[in-house]
Structure 1
Amino acid sequence: MSRSLCVYNVPMALDSERLRSHGLDPLLAYSRNRWHVQESRRSTLGPIPPVRFIDEFLSAGRAERHGMLSYQKAFASVPKRADTPEQIYQPLVLALNKKTASHSRCPEMIFSKTIERSIRPERLGHTKPHISCFTKENIHLIEQVNRESREELGYAEMIIQVAPDASLDYFTDPDPKASAETLAAHKFAREVDDDDEAYRQAEHAFGLHIAFVTEIFARQQRTFLFTVAVCGSSVRFFRWDRAGCVVSEAFDLHERPELLSEFLWRFSHLSYWSRGHDCTVTQATEAQGRLFRATIRQHVALQLDLSGDELEKAVLVHHQPGHAIILRVDPQQCNGPDPASQQYIVSRPTVTPLQLSGCCTRGYWAVSVDTGKVAFVKDTWRSYSLSDKDVEGDVVWRLNDLGVRNIPSLRFHGDCFLSPIGQRMAADRMCQETKTHKYNKEPWALLIDGKAVRVGKQRHYRLVTDTVGYSLRCVQGTEELLHSTHDVLLAMKDALAKDARIHRDISIGNIILVKEPDSRIRKGYLIDWDASDRVNEKGEALQPGRAGTWAFMSYRMLEITGQSEDSHTFKDDLEALLYVVFYCGLMYLPHDLTDERVTWLYGEFFERSDMYGSEKYGGDAKRMNARGRRYTRKITFGDPAFAEWLTTVMDYHSPPAELQDKYKDCWDGDHLDEFWSPFLATHELERHNRTVHRVLDYRLYDPNSLPTASDDSTPSTPDREARPKRAIGELGSDTEDGRETKIHRRSSARNPATAPPALTPPPPIATASTPLRRSKRIHEQKTRERLKLRAASVDAVPPPAPASRRRGSRGRARGRSRK
């Protein structure tokens, strides 16, 4: 099989300002890994018997045993337990790579001690897998890679993570002789207990394991991945896909060496696709790479009006030299016969998924192989069920047909087929789907956190549009912000009026800015209609429960009942749009808050959450601000017109006492448009007042990864707004050429005791990155007490004083009318 068909080491998305990778800041590895572990508890199934694991997932690797080394005492040199991981992985690597002139354990594969290629192996954010498996064709590339790089994860076929003792296994198998009743009650994952040193060490080890898996998915085009965990001489197999993970029972290397031997033998005989590589992706030719760069360069110049060095820098956000690939799109028509497969050249994505399961969306500026035109390709894993009626492409096609303004223009869309790119399409046209869900009801699938794990089914899907622009995060000033978000309001109104549809995920990640030839101001487009839904005669979404991005949800949908009982309405979308504008004002327009205060306000208003049992809820700050402007009244914005707009729209949403009659029943699209359109026409808005504010994450830093005085580089205070949609991630300092950018942060953050103060006193931000980890009984008791007190405390907030508004106080300055 041609090696060129398999794509390795794909670029990751960059921060357009700093030109470094999103999401892998070493200082945030500790909180990031803990979050990964907590998320995995909802999507891990096990323990499947190891023999069945091999038969289920590696059946295509069955081959003649000629050339296979004997498994007898194959791993006898690996100790049952040790004091350090090194005492396990050193003899294990020797055993894995053992071969004779005609026999080996894993033909055409080489196992490398990648942890020894890390210059800081003791630090979570810099360490690498203990053992990585590479093809013989790629091992020479690994040997040439700069040790400060993380490119090994872009070539790894599989990794093996090691712990010195079986007591550090994150999972516990039931007694083989357990009764059916005992088996049904057994909890497969360890109970969360931060006071237990053994638990903390097991969580630490498993968090690293998941972090490496997540990064491999980010650095490769994959549909699934195999990994192995070795704790002492105890071994487990893992199979990861975009729905979750299947874990095997543990077995002992000394007692059952044939299991690992069989796994490795079959693994080495699998095709690239059967090892998890995406068969619908291949390398682009040099000519295609040149076409891509020239076409994208032209489009960037049009969109940003740049030239010279600034233009070349902007092109790097979408193109990494030497890394152009071809994606196949398999169109499925909304009506009529399906057209032929289409191919698009892409390079660096605009977003890289840094979570393991879910949609895991990549977005690309792309160039059509057939037409040479620019397009946008959304590569995602959509939730799938037999009851699905419309996928996102069907929705966008219908909205286009109905004449809804300011939404993307659909070109193609469809699920990804299993047939390898460049080969004849199989008659059955099977699609790329996750497999984890198939094992939901297996008798061996045990409880985690006291309940059965139910994993959904995901299907690989691509959507191509003609609308190609930049994120709203690139907004240049008040004028562009308020015009583009008004465009979004028109899209929302049209969709409701013409298709009885609401978006349900109005967020900063779902609005793009597009420069059009006939307009000086970039237009706003509302994208990502996958969460949208029709509404009933009451204006409620047909599907109950939350949808969208936590930071921008209405406070009503953040209530406990919002998780599964309440239904989204158009008013919730309007409120989300208000929060998008406020967020952009807070992060990208001039005001009088320090970064420390921005950090606190951001955490309280946009991120804060709590748990009631298994139910997540929040929204207190949004509710208090709606009733008393508790947060926004403390900000003085540099552009009085923006302050006036924000004050007025908040009055429309939740009028203070003196304006109750004036704004009664005005929180709808028509009334808001009646204010917004004339406001844009009659006010002078700042055009180039972009001022970037930073969210300081020093409270989430890993103390073991802080730099020493001898370090050449110091870590940054990352920009939390770079967090990808529906994901937890921050800007990283890892660059694609293998070097670490020299970056700086406040020296006071080195010592948490002298960290810069936020508003006094700043309560800890309860986010997904810092999961709540208390005794369930105590936590639920305190939560009930908070719930009882919350309504009273919110209602006690006094409404804003009428005099303050008339006098144009802080945060309520009047704009300048255009004469």
Structure 2
Amino acid sequence: MTSVYNLPVSYDAVDGPRKAPQGHVLATIDAMVGPMPPARFLNRFLPQPAFSIPNHLLPSNDAFTHVPDMADSVAEIYEPLAAALNQRTEGGPRCPGFVFDITAARIAHPDRRRYMKPHICCYKEPNLEIVQAADKASRIDLGYAELFIDVSPDPLRDFFNNPPPDVRRSNYSLRSYHHVFTGQRRHEHVEDLFGQHIAHVVEVLARQSRTFLFTVAIHGSCARLLRWDRSGCVVSEAFDVRARPNVLCDFLWRFSQTSDAGRGHDTTVEYALPWEEVRFRDAVRLHILTQLDPGEDLEEAVEQHYAPGQVFAARVLHQDHPASDEHTRRFLFSRPVASSLALLGHGTRGCWAVDAATSEVAFLKDTWRNAYQHPPVYLANEVQSTRTDELLGRHRPSWACAPIDSQELKIAPQARRHYRLVLGTVGRPFSTQRGTKELLHACHDVFTAMRDALARDRRLHRDISTGNIVLVQEPDSETRRGYLIDWELSSRVRADGRAEKSKSVGTAWFMAKRLSIRLLVQGYPHVLQDDMESLLYVVLHAALRWQPHDLPQGAPRERWNVFYKSNLATAARDAAAGVRFDSDAVREWLDTMMAFHAPLPTHGAELRDKWTGDGQAVDDFWTDFLATRDLEPANRTEHEFRAVASPTAPLAPWTSASRPPMGEGWVSSSRELSSFASPRPRPRRPRHRRRYIPLPSIRVLLRQSRNWRRGGGRGAKK
């Protein structure tokens, strides 16, 4: 089985906001482990095949002597590095079958994060021509990359730490703090660089079908090997490619000799045959014709699910049968409606899919879960699962440093398995709602489904969100119906109405406020009222985003940000306060539901005790409301809902000339570090020069802390 390349991504992932680099760092910081000795890294993740004896391996001596140990620009590093990596002799290349290309030379806007690419990408030789023929603005480079190398000109810009030899590594942080001690601006810049590295990893995982990815980070002449999967990242010790070139050369040789699966490709995905692509396109077009909005362009709607020349096939195992070819069905898919833009977690890719045998349209969900209620994806009779989690947790290997920024993990390591799920209901996204009538009718359908599941199967959904509601046009219905999909996180309930699964789950934007403080809620099971609260937030979100109102551009997103960060039960009321909706029905529905959910002291008895039991009181109000109010069928209005922070802000310039002496620095005050807060007026103080203060080593600080504890702390007798 061979690997596939350049999977299309959803239009939201192409045009929508992206997480800032520092956001990637914060989201991943507790799921990194290292520094792993390079020899152990290679033997664990790229074991030398018994049949592959490196008799044609180019000599590693002096392989990277032209790479400087520090430079003023990244080009001074990556140009000689790429030349050394592509070196060939009569015996063959350094990495047989692969070529290294300077991707940094093909960037449309080098000063914007959205357009940034890794400095060097490794490709299979046949794929290089495809990449070089593409437009500079294209992201096809990451759709074909086997691995990539990011370069910085100075070793002090390394995000990670190499502890001294013969020490207890658990006393050292994996993260390097040289850049913190030498100034806040430098600290932020180093986080930006590593965050951009993570952003490239995330994009490769979105544009390829992968189980993991190798990358290389080089700072001056010091290199680190990294392995990424949906549970986190394993980091190797830094090694100097000038002094120890054999490490990088051995890595490249092993990388070239392993299989596509050994390089991280999910080889269970295949290219669709030409006739299968035609079948997929025609089936999707026919299904969209039954769901098309009045006046909507058919071909534009088809493009949301079909990218010409990019149709793929995957087999899905039947849930109640053992793994075998006779118990699998072949599904065709193309452009997803949702692409994951984060490293950790489910990494979900959701697509319209077509059964290759019957042409039936379904929804295919490709995801990484820590649950075991569905048959996972198998490759060569082995379950596809993550491996980083094996090295995380309390029982870390002796070579591992302490977790970054904490002595204990904030989030328990997640062992994830790869799943593909096929869901029968296929409709249009909830975001395509036409007006007030469809919004409230569709959400009432969802509410009915929630109550029916509880009454008939004693089951809670536990993940009510805009992404888990689809709109389906049925022949006997004037308004599209709302379908609640993705019951993967659902749970049966006990006799007291609480979910049997105690762990809190859900989409963060729409989680009930009592469950939204994740560090404190691991033992809080869901109840029906939590899902009802999530549905209230779904309607509120839709009203701010797609209903006509008097808020200026940008204000809906700002209000939603404030709402999301609040843990108060009245957060929804605060987000909707003062908003004048053109639809009186929307305002009335929100006011009534918010009073049911969190009544104020001024509310009368008729609004109290409604948010209880099986939701019958809420259903009675909602059913009567839909029957007696005139609801606007087509008053949809688009409001700007982009991220507040610009994803295209340029990186702050930095040169090696501005680097303070190593091991020294000044520490800014807390007010200077809090640059996001508005400074308070304060009396002028005499100007003075900042003094460079020698900082004690971590070993000295630990010894002082240990002596302080043994002496009984502050005030102990000496």
TM-score range for the pair, normalised by the shorter chain length = 0.7 to 0.9
The CA deviation at 1:200 is 2.3
Asked if residue 661 in structure 1 is aligned to residue 613 in structure 2, the reply is no
Structure 2 unaligned segments of length 5 or more: list them: 653-677, 681-718
Where 1:415 maps in the other structure, the secondary structure is coil
Alignment partner, residue 207 of structure 1: 195
Where 2:20 maps in the other structure, the secondary structure is helix
- CA distance in 1 between partners of 2:234 and 2:518 (Å): 31
Where 1:246 maps in the other structure, the secondary structure is strand
Asked if residue 369 in structure 1 is aligned to residue 353 in structure 2, the reply is no
Distance of aligned partners of 1:60 and 1:464 in 2 relative to their CA distance in 1, 3 Å threshold = farther
> For each residue in 1:608-634, what CA deviation from the matched residue of structure 2 results, as whole angstroms up to 9, or x when unmatched?
2xxxxxxxxx323x5255xxx444240
- CA distance in 2 between partners of 1:330 and 1:415 (Å): 8
Alignment partner, residue 690 of structure 1: 636
Alignment partner, residue 13 of structure 1: 10
The CA deviation at 1:561 is 7.2
Root mean square deviation of aligned Cα: 2.4
| Paired residues of 1:446 and 1:452 also in contact (CA < 8 A) | no
- CA distance in 1 between partners of 2:361 and 2:556 (Å): 38
> For each residue in 1:614-669, what CA deviation from the matched residue of structure 2 results, as whole angstroms up to 9, or x when unmatched?
xxxx323x5255xxx44424011111122222222222222343544223321131
Deviates more, 1:63-72 or 1:650-659: 650-659
Letter of the 1:297 partner, please give it: R
Distance of aligned partners of 1:336 and 1:491 in 2 relative to their CA distance in 1, 3 Å threshold = farther
Asked if residue 280 in structure 1 is aligned to residue 268 in structure 2, the reply is yes
Alignment partner, residue 143 of structure 1: 132
> For each residue in 1:773-801, what CA deviation from the matched residue of structure 2 results, as whole angstroms up to 9, or x when unmatched?
xxxxxxxxxxxxxxxxxxxxxxxxxxxxx
- CA distance in 2 between partners of 1:257 and 1:644 (Å): 70
Letter of the 1:151 partner, please give it: I
The CA deviation at 1:145 is 0.8
| Paired residues of 2:317 and 2:323 also in contact (CA < 8 A) | no
| Paired residues of 1:284 and 1:325 also in contact (CA < 8 A) | yes
Number of aligned pairs? 643
- CA distance in 1 between partners of 2:358 and 2:648 (Å): 49
Alignment partner, residue 33 of structure 2: 45
| Paired residues of 1:331 and 1:338 also in contact (CA < 8 A) | no
- CA distance in 2 between partners of 1:50 and 1:535 (Å): 49
Distance of aligned partners of 1:695 and 1:306 in 2 relative to their CA distance in 1, 3 Å threshold = closer
- CA distance in 1 between partners of 2:617 and 2:321 (Å): 35
Letter of the 2:607 partner, please give it: Y
| Paired residues of 2:224 and 2:239 also in contact (CA < 8 A) | yes
Match of 1:451 among 407, 424, 432: 407
Asked if residue 468 in structure 1 is aligned to residue 426 in structure 2, the reply is yes
The CA deviation at 1:705 is 6.9
Distance of aligned partners of 1:127 and 1:654 in 2 relative to their CA distance in 1, 3 Å threshold = closer
Letter of the 1:10 partner, please give it: L
Structure-to-structure mapping, 1:572-651, within 5 angstroms: 572-605=530-563, 607-608=564-565, 618-620=566-568, 622-623=569-570, 629-651=573-595
The CA deviation at 1:55 is 0.9
Match of 1:529 among 466, 473, 487: 487
Where 1:247 maps in the other structure, the secondary structure is strand
Alignment partner, residue 184 of structure 1: 170
Match of 2:509 among 536, 551, 559: 551
| Paired residues of 2:118 and 2:150 also in contact (CA < 8 A) | yes
Distance of aligned partners of 1:245 and 1:501 in 2 relative to their CA distance in 1, 3 Å threshold = same
Letter of the 2:387 partner, please give it: K
The CA deviation at 1:123 is 2.8
The CA deviation at 1:462 is 0.8
Alignment partner, residue 500 of structure 1: 458
Letter of the 2:398 partner, please give it: P
Alignment partner, residue 436 of structure 1: 388
The CA deviation at 1:316 is 0.3
> For each residue in 1:376-409, what CA deviation from the matched residue of structure 2 results, as whole angstroms up to 9, or x when unmatched?
111100114xxx5x34xxxxxxxxxxxxxxxxxx
Alignment partner, residue 744 of structure 1: none
Match of 2:378 among 395, 414, 417: 417
Distance of aligned partners of 1:335 and 1:146 in 2 relative to their CA distance in 1, 3 Å threshold = closer
Letter of the 1:451 partner, please give it: Q
Alignment partner, residue 689 of structure 2: none
Alignment partner, residue 255 of structure 1: 243
Where 1:292 maps in the other structure, the secondary structure is helix
Letter of the 1:623 partner, please give it: T
- CA distance in 1 between partners of 2:130 and 2:518 (Å): 51
| Paired residues of 1:602 and 1:695 also in contact (CA < 8 A) | no
Where 1:344 maps in the other structure, the secondary structure is strand
- CA distance in 1 between partners of 2:247 and 2:367 (Å): 35
Where 2:335 maps in the other structure, the secondary structure is coil
The CA deviation at 1:505 is 1.4
- CA distance in 2 between partners of 1:430 and 1:697 (Å): 41
Where 2:150 maps in the other structure, the secondary structure is strand
Letter of the 2:175 partner, please give it: A
| Paired residues of 1:555 and 1:623 also in contact (CA < 8 A) | no
TM-score for both structures, normalised by structure 1: 0.75
TM-score for both structures, normalised by structure 2: 0.85
Alignment partner, residue 116 of structure 1: 105
Deviates more, 1:77-86 or 1:642-651: 642-651
Structure 1 unaligned segments of length 5 or more: list them: 392-413, 420-428, 609-617, 707-760, 764-819
Percent sequence identity is: 40
| Paired residues of 1:331 and 1:415 also in contact (CA < 8 A) | no
- CA distance in 1 between partners of 2:408 and 2:601 (Å): 49
- CA distance in 2 between partners of 1:696 and 1:352 (Å): 17
| Paired residues of 1:99 and 1:105 also in contact (CA < 8 A) | yes
Where 2:283 maps in the other structure, the secondary structure is helix
Structure-to-structure mapping, 1:85-484, within 5 angstroms: 85-178=74-167, 180=168, 183-190=169-176, 193=180, 195-305=183-293, 310-333=297-320, 340-384=327-371, 388=372, 390-391=373-374, 414-419=375-380, 429-440=381-392, 441-447=396-402, 448-453=404-409, 454-484=412-442
Letter of the 1:662 partner, please give it: E
- CA distance in 2 between partners of 1:366 and 1:506 (Å): 23
The CA deviation at 1:339 is 5.6
The CA deviation at 1:488 is 0.7
- CA distance in 1 between partners of 2:170 and 2:93 (Å): 41
